[in-house]
Amino acid sequence: MTTDLSSTSHYGWVAPSRDMLGSIGGTPLIRLTRASEETGCDIFGKAEFMNPGGSVKDRAALAIITDAEARGALPPGGVIVEGTAGNTGIGLTLVANARGYKSIIVMPETQSQEKIDFLRMIGADLRLVPAKPFKDPGNYVHVSRRIAEEGGYLWANQFDNVANREGHRHTTAQEIWRQTDGRVDAFTCACGTGGTLAGVALGLDDAAKASGSSRPQIVLADPEGSGLFGWIKSNDLSVSGSSITEGIGQSRVTANLENAPIDDAERIGDPEALEQVYSLLINEGLSVGGSSGINVAAAIRVARRLGPGHRIVTILCDGGARYQSKLFNPTFLRGKNLPVPYWLDK
């Protein structure tokens, strides 16, 4: 490829931050060599696994807490409650620790043991609940809302609190714009709350308008078992199938997703996502989780559709170590009829 990366690859110097919160965001944008070479495009991954809590959700946590403080909704020493697949709970707990708050984290018990252990390690008051669909009152989101209401605590409400997407709009999107000198043809991203996808889409749209250029194509990357692919393609939210990926897939249009400029969608199955997870690890030295695999697989599909010479950006949401007991465990993989990568197949 002919892209000149000299202005975007090495800053060489990073200003000191006042506290831990200043280390959230400002992540590298990494050219993914294999994916780029295979497609003749430049495919970049935003290294969100490098945030202090290890995922893209640190940004949402900081944005939600900062917004609550500004609204006077979080008194000194207050308590933040949230229902989460894990990463938001980790981000909220670390930000709460740094700002002198406490956290109560409600999580479905099906999430990885690594996230459960990490939440306990960092001091979250962790409440595991059985996995239930959103319409069931026992669903983790509803449990967290009730705990907040009953205790008079702050409910972070990441799905419908648009401080989440506004955080991405003003940080993630602007970083991508600067790191690419405003040359992005497409952006692909999976959805849990929709904060990342919608916030980056809106922020890239803001930046494109301000510079008089056209905005990149925005493409949802959706796992099996999520309703959003059908929603984008045919306004039909019905769900089929399932996925071993965590933190993504959605069966309703959250407030964060409302009116987001999303142009298209790709549905990615677990084998295709895992192929990217393993390739990124063994060929490029990048350890990422399943949602990153879905994002990169979607970026490759979009690159093939657009043709050589285009630039596609996606998100590397979190790190592989968070899923050692699942995505990198031969027994787990065989139990799901998924291929075991050769270096683990012993």
Which is nearer to ligand PMP, 78 or 186 (by Cβ)?
A: 186
Which is nearer to ligand PMP, 85 or 277 (by Cβ)?
A: 85
Which is nearer to ligand PMP, 207 or 294 (by Cβ)?
A: 294
The answer to whether 201 and 169 are in contact (CB under 8 A) is no
In the Cβ-directed half-sphere of 16, how many Cα atoms lie within 13 Å? 1
Which is nearer to ligand PMP, 162 or 191 (by Cβ)?
A: 191
Between helix 163-170 and helix 57-70 the angle, nearest 10°, is 110
State in angstroms the smallest separation of the CB of 212 from ligand PMP.
29
| Contact residues for ligand PMP, defined by CB under 6 A | 55-57, 85, 87-88, 190-197, 246-248, 289, 291, 317-318
Is residue 57 annotated as part of the catalytic site, yes or no? yes
State in angstroms the smallest separation of the CB of 73 from ligand PMP.
21
Which is nearer to ligand PMP, 310 or 316 (by Cβ)?
A: 316
Contacts of 215 (CB under 8 A, 6+ apart): 204, 205, 208, 209, 261
State in angstroms the smallest separation of the CB of 37 from ligand PMP.
25
Which is nearer to ligand PMP, 108 or 194 (by Cβ)?
A: 194
Give the nearest residue (CB) to ligand PMP. 247
Q: Which residues pair with 265 in a beta bridge?
A: 220
State in angstroms the smallest separation of the CB of 132 from ligand PMP.
17
d(CA 111, CA 95): 21
Catalytic residue among 57, 132, 209, 233: 57
State in angstroms the smallest separation of the CB of 164 from ligand PMP.
7
Amino acid 230 reads G
State in angstroms the smallest separation of the CB of 295 from ligand PMP.
8
Nearest to 264 by CA among 228, 232, 294, 226: 232
Contacts of 257 (CB under 8 A, 6+ apart): 191, 194, 197, 198, 228, 250
**Catalytic positions, written as ranges:** 57
